[in-house]
Amino acid sequence: MPLFRPLLSLAAAAMSILLVSPSIASEPVAIDITSHDRTYRIWELAIGEEPVDGYPLVVLLDGNQMLPIAARIAAEDGRPRLLVAIGYPEDDRETIVKRRYFDLTPLTPSELLPESRSGGLVQAGGQDDFTAMLKGTILPGVLERHRIDKADTTLFGHSLSGMAALRMLFDHTWPFATYVAADPSIWWKNSAILSELDAFEAAPRTEAERLTIITSGVRPERKDVSTQANARMRALRGGPNGKDVAERMAKIEGLSVDLHPMPNESHGSMVEPSLRLLLTR
């Protein structure tokens, strides 16, 4: 199953939301931000009337893929919330995939990099700059433009962005109350994220944070890459997975952890049911 399904244009997505319920959804507002000579697009979509305590906030990584799906589900659900999706101004799938590999990963030795769809190895190593932009520019801007219920803030990521969401949780300095990681890429860089989990386990809890890890159960071979690339990916993906990490983190005092297996979903097909779980429970 390809990682990126055909995407609705955001204008079409907004139209479908308005047709579902014209009274509860605005159109998404797009804001472009340039950092380290790379331009990002942030979409903000307010659903419903602003609550007394401010909007519950849901931040979606991989925004090009996630926003059209999440917007439809949130509008159908009808409860007030602010969706903030972080992505790219490009519409080309290959460009988006290339950029997300770089932005959502730490520096990684070449022998631990998967092959790209176009041949050669993917580029990695931009995660620190990306998360610095999220923390220093994007989130402060959201708080300036909207009144947010700081007790009801969620970060959602899938695959590489699920790994990024876990790394943000481990960092202790983010304002989110809830983190949702769907099939996080624990395997990346020989499961280097586990060393960050070691430090997270040893640190005292200062906030009552919540974590949901969602896992898929079907992993077909990718048909859009070579046999060699599939073999390389199988070798890289060994070791602990999201289920293992959730079971380990469930033992951490002061952290609420939920594990939601989706045994009949693949890594790609799990996206919509994961967003539905997030936005309708």
Task: Provide mean pLDDT across the span 155-183.
Answer: 96
Predicted model pTM: 0.90
What is the pLDDT at residue 14? 40
Lowest mean pLDDT among 40-44, 117-121, 130-134: 117-121
What CATH code would you report for 10-280? 3.40.50.1820
Q: Domain segments of the chain: what residues?
A: 10-280
- pLDDT per residue over 246-278, tens digit each? 999 999 998 999 999 999 999 999 999 999 999
Q: How confident is the model at residue 221 (pLDDT cuts 50, 70, 90)?
A: low
What is the pLDDT at residue 12? 40
What is the pLDDT at residue 8? 39
* pLDDT tops 80 at residue 17: no
Task: Provide mean pLDDT across the span 135-145.
Answer: 97
For the chain, the DSSP string reads --SSPPPPPHHHHHHHHHHH-TTTB-PPEEEEEEETTEEEEEEEEEESSPPTT-EEEEEESSHHHHHHHHHHHHHHH---EEEEEEE-S---HHHHHHHHHHHTS----GGGPPBPTTSSBPP---HHHHHHHIIIIIHHHHHHHS-EEEEEEEEEEETHHHHHHHHHHHHS----SEEEEES--TTHHHHTHHHHHHHHHHSPP-S-EEEEEEEEEE-PPPSSS-HHHHHHHHHHT-S--HHHHHHHHTTSTTEEEEEEEEEEEETTTTHHHHHHHHHH-
What is the pLDDT at residue 35? 94
* pLDDT tops 70 at residue 87: yes
Q: How confident is the model at residue 238 (pLDDT cuts 50, 70, 90)?
A: confident
* pLDDT tops 90 at residue 16: no
* pLDDT tops 90 at residue 127: yes
* pLDDT tops 50 at residue 151: yes
What is the pLDDT at residue 7? 41
Mean pLDDT of the chain: 89
